[in-house]
Protein backbone atom coordinates (compact mmCIF):
# COMPACT_ATOMS: atom_id res chain seq x y z
CA UNK A 1 0.00 0.00 0.00
CA UNK A 2 1.21 3.47 -0.85
CA UNK A 3 1.61 6.00 1.93
CA UNK A 4 0.43 9.54 1.32
CA UNK A 5 2.45 11.72 3.68
CA UNK A 6 0.93 15.06 4.57
CA UNK A 7 3.12 18.00 5.53
CA UNK A 8 3.56 18.36 9.28
CA UNK A 9 1.56 18.92 11.39
CA UNK A 10 -1.47 17.26 9.85
CA UNK A 11 -4.94 16.44 11.11
CA UNK A 12 -7.22 13.99 9.33
CA UNK A 13 -10.97 14.50 9.79
CA UNK A 14 -12.92 11.36 8.99
CA UNK A 15 -16.46 12.43 8.12
CA UNK A 16 -17.66 14.86 5.49
CA UNK A 17 -20.73 16.12 7.25
CA UNK A 18 -21.42 19.23 9.25
CA UNK A 19 -19.52 17.92 12.30
CA UNK A 20 -16.35 17.36 10.26
CA UNK A 21 -16.56 20.77 8.64
CA UNK A 22 -17.28 22.56 11.93
CA UNK A 23 -14.32 20.75 13.51
CA UNK A 24 -12.06 22.08 10.76
CA UNK A 25 -13.41 25.59 11.23
CA UNK A 26 -12.86 25.39 14.99
CA UNK A 27 -9.27 24.22 14.51
CA UNK A 28 -8.57 27.14 12.18
CA UNK A 29 -10.22 29.67 14.47
CA UNK A 30 -8.00 28.45 17.31
CA UNK A 31 -4.86 28.99 15.27
CA UNK A 32 -4.13 25.58 13.73
CA UNK A 33 -2.19 26.32 10.53
CA UNK A 34 -1.18 22.79 9.51
CA UNK A 35 -2.78 20.64 6.86
CA UNK A 36 -6.37 19.48 7.25
CA UNK A 37 -7.48 16.50 5.22
CA UNK A 38 -11.17 15.57 5.22
CA UNK A 39 -12.28 12.05 4.27
CA UNK A 40 -15.87 11.71 3.09
CA UNK A 41 -17.72 8.69 1.72
CA UNK A 42 -20.05 11.00 -0.18
CA UNK A 43 -18.97 12.43 -3.52
CA UNK A 44 -20.15 15.92 -2.49
CA UNK A 45 -18.52 18.64 -0.44
CA UNK A 46 -20.13 19.00 3.01
CA UNK A 47 -23.70 20.26 2.80
CA UNK A 48 -26.46 21.22 5.17
CA UNK A 49 -28.74 18.24 5.63
CA UNK A 50 -31.88 19.79 7.15
CA UNK A 51 -32.61 21.91 4.03
CA UNK A 52 -32.69 18.79 1.85
CA UNK A 53 -36.44 18.52 2.37
CA UNK A 54 -37.00 22.22 1.73
CA UNK A 55 -34.46 23.23 -0.91
CA UNK A 56 -32.85 20.26 -2.66
CA UNK A 57 -36.12 18.36 -2.99
CA UNK A 58 -37.57 21.25 -5.01
CA UNK A 59 -34.45 22.68 -6.68
CA UNK A 60 -34.02 22.49 -10.41
CA UNK A 61 -30.44 21.26 -10.38
CA UNK A 62 -30.95 18.85 -7.47
CA UNK A 63 -27.90 20.01 -5.60
CA UNK A 64 -27.71 20.02 -1.85
CA UNK A 65 -27.10 23.14 0.13
CA UNK A 66 -23.30 23.37 0.24
CA UNK A 67 -21.72 24.76 3.35
CA UNK A 68 -19.22 27.49 2.67
CA UNK A 69 -16.04 27.54 4.69
CA UNK A 70 -12.68 29.20 4.90
CA UNK A 71 -11.16 26.29 6.81
CA UNK A 72 -8.90 25.29 3.90
CA UNK A 73 -9.65 21.57 4.07
CA UNK A 74 -8.38 19.26 1.34
CA UNK A 75 -11.35 16.92 0.90
CA UNK A 76 -10.95 13.35 -0.29
CA UNK A 77 -14.50 12.65 -1.50
CA UNK A 78 -16.01 9.32 -2.42
CA UNK A 79 -13.66 7.28 -0.23
CA UNK A 80 -14.15 5.74 3.18
CA UNK A 81 -11.76 5.16 6.03
CA UNK A 82 -11.51 1.43 6.60
CA UNK A 83 -9.11 1.38 9.54
CA UNK A 84 -7.30 3.67 11.93
CA UNK A 85 -3.84 2.94 13.33
CA UNK A 86 -3.40 5.32 16.25
CA UNK A 87 0.04 3.97 17.14
CA UNK A 88 1.32 4.14 13.56
CA UNK A 89 -0.43 7.44 12.90
CA UNK A 90 -2.32 6.64 9.73
CA UNK A 91 -5.80 6.05 8.34
CA UNK A 92 -6.30 3.41 5.68
CA UNK A 93 -8.76 4.33 2.92
CA UNK A 94 -10.85 1.93 0.86
CA UNK A 95 -8.71 2.70 -2.20
CA UNK A 96 -5.69 1.24 -0.32
CA UNK A 97 -4.03 4.58 0.41
CA UNK A 98 -2.53 5.11 3.85
CA UNK A 99 -2.83 8.71 5.03
CA UNK A 100 -0.41 9.75 7.76
CA UNK A 101 -1.53 12.12 10.52
CA UNK A 102 -0.43 13.76 13.72
CA UNK A 103 -4.00 13.78 15.05
CA UNK A 104 -7.27 12.32 13.82
CA UNK A 105 -10.87 13.34 14.39
CA UNK A 106 -13.70 10.85 13.89
CA UNK A 107 -16.81 12.79 12.92
CA UNK A 108 -18.68 10.12 11.02
CA UNK A 109 -22.20 10.97 12.08
CA UNK A 110 -25.06 8.50 12.25
CA UNK A 111 -27.25 6.43 10.00
CA UNK A 112 -31.02 6.58 9.95
CA UNK A 113 -32.63 3.82 11.97
CA UNK A 114 -34.71 1.55 9.75
CA UNK A 115 -38.13 1.03 11.27
CA UNK A 116 -40.26 -2.04 10.57
CA UNK A 117 -43.07 -1.38 8.11
CA UNK A 118 -41.37 1.62 6.50
CA UNK A 119 -41.88 2.38 2.83
CA UNK A 120 -38.68 1.39 0.95
CA UNK A 121 -36.88 4.28 -0.71
CA UNK A 122 -38.60 7.00 1.31
CA UNK A 123 -35.58 8.15 3.30
CA UNK A 124 -34.19 11.63 2.99
CA UNK A 125 -30.58 11.67 4.24
CA UNK A 126 -28.45 12.53 1.21
CA UNK A 127 -28.50 14.64 -1.95
CA UNK A 128 -29.13 11.43 -3.91
CA UNK A 129 -32.19 10.66 -1.74
CA UNK A 130 -33.57 14.15 -2.49
CA UNK A 131 -32.95 13.66 -6.22
CA UNK A 132 -34.73 10.30 -6.18
CA UNK A 133 -37.73 11.67 -4.23
CA UNK A 134 -37.93 14.74 -6.49
CA UNK A 135 -38.11 12.40 -9.51
CA UNK A 136 -40.93 10.42 -7.88
CA UNK A 137 -42.75 13.64 -6.93
CA UNK A 138 -42.43 15.03 -10.47
CA UNK A 139 -43.50 11.75 -12.11
CA UNK A 140 -46.58 11.47 -9.93
CA UNK A 141 -47.37 15.20 -9.88
CA UNK A 142 -47.53 14.98 -6.09
CA UNK A 143 -48.05 18.24 -4.20
CA UNK A 144 -46.46 18.41 -0.77
**Span 103-136, pLDDT tens digits:** 999 998 766 666 677 666 666 667 777 777 767 6
Cα–Cα nearest to 23, from 96, 4, 32 = 32
pTM over 0.85: no
24: left (phi over 0), alpha (psi -120 to 50) or beta: alpha
Asked if residue 66 lies in contact with residue 105, where contact means CB atoms within 8 angstroms, the answer is no
Output the pLDDT for position 62: 46
Amino acid sequence: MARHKLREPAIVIVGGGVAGLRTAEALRSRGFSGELLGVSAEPHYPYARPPLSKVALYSIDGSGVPLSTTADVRWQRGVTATSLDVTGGYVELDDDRLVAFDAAVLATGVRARRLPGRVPGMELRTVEDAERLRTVRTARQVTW
